[in-house]
């Protein structure tokens, strides 16, 4: 069984001043192809709260929230083997090129 997972491309704009780094997407995020897609994840609520915005519901609204607040999001792991979503299960990881980002 192949458990190779790939992270997403970064979300950023030329005005991004904040970079939030995750490890790599979990199963729900990979299935939906969206950052922080699991309904129990508080990421979008926290970003809305600290930026004094309404909580976004659609992925388009979520991306707009990041853009509006010049927040970039990316993961430190580009590719890895992992069963499930736990960071402790990551094996044979290949990092993203953060230096050239």
Dmax over CA atoms of the chain, in Å, equals 45
Q: Does 41 participate in catalysis according to the annotation?
A: yes
CB atoms within 10 A of CB 73: 21
Rounded Cα distance, 5 and 81, in Å: 6
Out of 3, 41, 69, 70, the active site residue is 41
Residue positions counted in the chain: 101
Q: For 5, which DSSP code?
A: E
Just list the catalytic residues.
41
């Amino acid at each position: 069984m192949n458990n190779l997972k790939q992270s997403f491309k970064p979300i950023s704009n030329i005005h991004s001043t904040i970079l939030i780094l995750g490890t790599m997407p979990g199963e729900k995020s990979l299935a939906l192809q969206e950052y922080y897609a699991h309904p129990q994840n508080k990421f979008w609520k926290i970003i809305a709260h600290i930026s004094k915005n309404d909580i976004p519901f659609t992925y388009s609204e979520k991306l707009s929230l990041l853009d509006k607040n010049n927040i970039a999001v990316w993961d430190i792991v580009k590719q890895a083997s992992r069963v499930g979503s736990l960071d402790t299960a990551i094996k044979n990881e290949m990092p993203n090129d953060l230096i050239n980002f």
